[in-house]
Amino acid sequence: MFKWLAVLLVLVSSLGVANGQNSSRRDSITACFMFAGDYALYIPGGDLADRMGLHSGAGLSIHYKSRNAWIFSANWKYLFGDQLRERGVLDSISTSNGFVIDKEGKMADIRMYPRGFNLYFSVGRIFTNILSPNPNSGPFISAGAGYMQHKIRIYDNGGRTPQLQGDYLKGYDRLTSGLMINQFVGFWFMSKSRFTNFYAGFEFNQAFTKSRRSWNYDLMRADTSKRIELQYGFRVGWNILLNRTGNQQYYMY
């Protein structure tokens, strides 16, 4: 993972150097608000690996960059994937062959997917003038805290299975949530364009969760266990400058 981070830093810094070689004078540090869309690909760890496999996160962020290169962020990410590893969720309503029977006596078309979200606030710092010629770009690290929630989305294709409708779903969906801490290490790049600004790197999440359902039908009991759920992944975001503070120009190449 760190080998790829080194490659990323070299590639992005070479872009910054190329811009700097064409400039007549250096940038000044700017303070600004930015809106970002981002995507992450996660490998699960800990108890989360027992529930889902490789999954994605797509979300939105609001960033404030100060003149001394601190980044304050609010982040929301929708989690989705198609690798559900948890087994036996519908055992209590399945036949010996593992099929659920609908109200017409036919095999129901039931599909299950992991879904969830991360919501967290973070504080980070750009280490300027290390791998970039301007003080608005450079290696970036951040840390934060927030909330993780996920569940199994159970889709009854055709809606003909009453045992999987309404409140009955709550006995099977494994709704889980809890506090989460977050770390990120990568590179933050800002160009002279309002729209060509991005960050990329590796993200690490640790969540301390538990079941939010009072009863699991397949277990015939409540799940009272405490979980430690981990996510490791590569994250990339695209920033759009909303405004700048003060009278300094955003970029002066």
pLDDT at position 91 over 80? yes
**According to the model, what pLDDT value does residue 129 have?**
75
Residue 153 gets the label, from left (phi > 0), alpha (psi -120 to 50) or beta, of beta
pLDDT at position 252 over 90? no
| Identity at 100, one-letter amino acid code | V
Give the pLDDT confidence of 6-65 residue by residue, as tens digits: 444 444 444 444 444 434 334 466 789 999 999 999 999 999 999 999 999 999 999 999
Question: What does the mean pLDDT of the chain come to?
Answer: 86
Q: Which residues contact 143 (CB under 8 A, 6 or more apart)?
A: 122, 123, 124, 181, 182, 183, 184
DSSP character at residue 175: -
Give the pLDDT confidence of 130-150 residue by residue, as tens digits: 776 677 899 999 999 999 999
**According to the model, what pLDDT value does residue 249 have?**
44
Name which of 183, 181, 179 is nearest 143 in CA terms: 183
- pLDDT-based confidence at 247, cuts 50/70/90? very low
Give the pLDDT confidence of 97-136 residue by residue, as tens digits: 889 999 999 999 999 999 999 999 999 999 987 776 677 8
Place of tokens 């009453």: 162
- pLDDT-based confidence at 221, cuts 50/70/90? very high
Task: For Cα atoms 155, 157, 160, give the angle at the middle one, nearest 5 degrees.
Answer: 105
